[in-house]
Amino acid sequence: MSSGSVSLLFLPQLWSRRNTAEIMKEGLLCLCDLLPRYQIHTGLQHSIIRPRQPNCLPFDQVTLPQRLQEAGYSTHMVGKWHLGFYKKECLPTRRGFDSYFGSLTGSVDYYTYKSCDGPGTCGFDLHEGETVAWGQGGKYSTHLYTQRVRKILAAHDPQAQPLFIYLSFQAVHTPLQSPPEYIYPYRGLGNVARRKYAAMVSAVDEAVRNVTYALRKYGYYQNSVIIFSTDNGGQPFSGGSNWPLRGRKGTYWEGGVRGLGFVHSPLLRRKRRVSKALVHITDWYPTLVGLAGGNASLTEKLDGYDVWGAISEGKESPRLEILHNIDPLYNPARSGSLQNGYGIWNTAIQASIRAGDWKLLTGDPGYGDWTPPQMLPGFPGSWWNLERHLEPQKSVWLFNISGDPYERYDLAEQRPDVVKELLARLVFYNQTSVPVRYPSEDPRADPDLNGGAWGPWAGDEEDEHWVGVYHKKSKDRKKKYKLSKTKSFFRRLNTRIMANRI
C-alpha cells in the first residue's frame, strides 16, 4: 500500500485505529519480515523470488514464527507467501507456521487464483497447508483470507495458548480487482486504475474492522498487539500514490522504501501519537520475540533491534542506521566508477544507506520522478517530472532526509565528507554480505507438469542449483543488459504516455 493512498480515501476503520494507536512514519522496508537480517545477509539482495526459480528463504536462518513456537505460541499464516516453494522444506508449514492458507506466488487473480509467470506458464495457486485447495476458489481473496482468520480465532482458546497470526493480504497488488460495491463510492474518480485501487484499499479497511471485532468477540483483544504495515511503496500508474515522495515501488527513493503503518494495542503506554522513530522491517523480529517472552539473541548476528520502547513509550529508537540494500547484479550505472566514489566504493553498484539524517544512493536508484495523485487530473505540481532536468550522468546522491524527505536537493557535491563516510559504511556492510542467490528458472516448475497448480517440484534431497556467487555468462550478460534497457525504455515511455493522459 502506497504512502499517499490512505489520507485521500474513505477508510473509517484504519482512521479510527489511529485514535488509539501509534502511527509509524519512518518505517523502512525490505524484501522479507520473517527474518532479522538485511537482504545482503540472506542472499536475496537482487530481486524477488520468481515462481520457477529453485530458491527460497535460507534454511540456515530461524524465522520469526519458529522463535515464537519456541516461546509456546500457536502460529498461523494466511495470505501471500512469495518466499519460494521449489521444495516442501520451503513451505510456510516447514518454516514455523502450524497452519497455512493462501497463495505461494507473488500475484494471483483475486477470484480464480490463477497465477502466471510469463505467457503460457499459468497455474492455480491457492493452498491449504501443503496441498492444493482446489475447491475453495471463487471468492474475493481479501474476504476469503479474513474469513479464515476469523475461523482461526474462533477455534483457538486464548487462555490455553498464546496465538500469532501473520495475515498477508494480496491487496493492493495488481491485478486491480474489486467487488462492485467497493467501487461505487469512488465512481467520481476519472482515473479507472485509481478508482479500482481505492476500492481495494476500502476492502482491506473493512477486513481490518472484521478482524478487530473478532479479536474482541473471542477474548483476545485486551492482551493483543495489532501491527499494520505496507511492504513497499506504490506503483503510481497502477493506482497507487507516493506523493509527495519521490520514486515508486522497486526503487531506493523514499517513495519505494518508506512505508506507513501503525501499532494498535491496549498495551501501549503512550497512545494517539505519531512516531518519527526510525524503524526497519527487520526490527519486528526481535521486537515481537521480546514481547512474546522469547529470546531473540539466540539468533546470531541480528540486523534488527527491539523497538518496543520507542513504539510504546516514545523512547529514542535504538536504530541509528539502515542499509537499504546493495545489489551487485543490478544493471551498473554507466557513469559510475571507483574514482567517482573517491577510491572507496564503485558507484556503478546500486546501493543505498541511511545514517541519522543522511541518505546516500549510488548506481542506478531506479525511476526518480515525483508523480502527483492520479485522482487530481491536470495537477499543476512543479515537482512532477523534474528528473528529466537532472544531470543524467550522476551515480552518487546525498540527501538530508530529515529536512528534505522529498529528495529534491542533492548535497553530494556540497558535503563530500558525508559522502565519503557513508561510502565507507557501504564497504563495511559489503564485506559481511553473502553470495547472491538468483538461480535460473527450472522447467520442471511448469504447473502443466504438476497437475495444473503451482507447488513444490524438486525433491527435498536436492541441493539448490546455485553455488557461490551467481555469475552470468559474458554474452548472456550483454544480451540481458540490452533487453533490460529496452524494457526500461518502454516502461518509461509508457509512464510518460500515461502521465500525459491524466
Distance CA 36, CA 185 (A): 40
Model pLDDT, residue 382? 52
Model pLDDT, residue 21? 54
Model pLDDT, residue 487? 45
User: Among the residues of 53-99, which ranges form H helices?
Assistant: 64-70
Q: Are strands 258-264 and 226-229 parallel, antiparallel or unpaired?
A: antiparallel
Helices 141-155 and 192-217: angle between axes, nearest 10 degrees: 10
Distance CA 398, CA 417 (A): 11
pTM: 0.86
DSSP 3-state of 25: strand
CA angle 14, 285, 264 (to 5 degrees): 25
DSSP 3-state of 445: helix
Q: Give which of 405, 394, 340 is closest to 364, Cα–Cα.
A: 394
**CB of 86 closer than 8 Å to CB of 55:** yes
CA angle 286, 158, 305 (to 5 degrees): 5
Task: Name residues whose C-beta falls within 8 Å of residue 279's C-beta, 6 or more positions apart in sequence.
Answer: 24, 26, 27, 28, 307, 310, 311, 317, 319
451: left (phi over 0), alpha (psi -120 to 50) or beta: left
**CB of 234 closer than 8 Å to CB of 5:** yes
Model pLDDT, residue 34? 84
Distance CA 440, CA 470 (A): 9
DSSP 3-state of 109: coil
Dihedral pair phi/psi, residue 402, rounded to 5°: -75, -40
Spell out the per-residue pLDDT of the chain, length 502, in tens: 545 444 344 555 554 555 455 565 554 555 456 888 999 999 999 999 999 999 999 999 999 999 999 999 999 999 999 999 999 999 999 999 999 999 999 999 999 999 999 888 999 999 999 999 998 888 999 999 999 999 999 999 999 999 999 999 999 999 999 999 999 999 888 889 989 999 999 999 999 999 999 999 999 999 999 999 888 888 888 888 888 899 888 899 999 999 888 899 999 998 888 888 899 999 999 999 999 998 877 666 799 999 999 999 999 999 999 999 999 999 888 888 999 999 999 999 999 999 999 999 999 988 888 887 654 544 545 555 555 555 667 999 999 999 999 999 999 999 999 999 999 999 999 999 999 999 999 999 999 999 999 999 998 777 655 434 444 433 443 444 344 444 444 444 444 444 333 3
Burial-class residue 327 by CB neighbours within 10 Å (0-12, 13-18, 19+). Answer: buried
Per-position DSSP letters for 114-183, written without gaps between them = EEESSTT-EEE--EETTEE-GGG-SS-HHHHHHHHHHHHHHHS-TTTS-EEEEEE--TTSSS----HHHH
DSSP 3-state of 371: coil
CATH number corresponding to 322-430: 3.30.1120.10
Distance CA 500, CA 496 (A): 6
Model pLDDT, residue 157? 95
Parse the chain into domains and list their residue ranges.
Answer: 322-430, 478-502
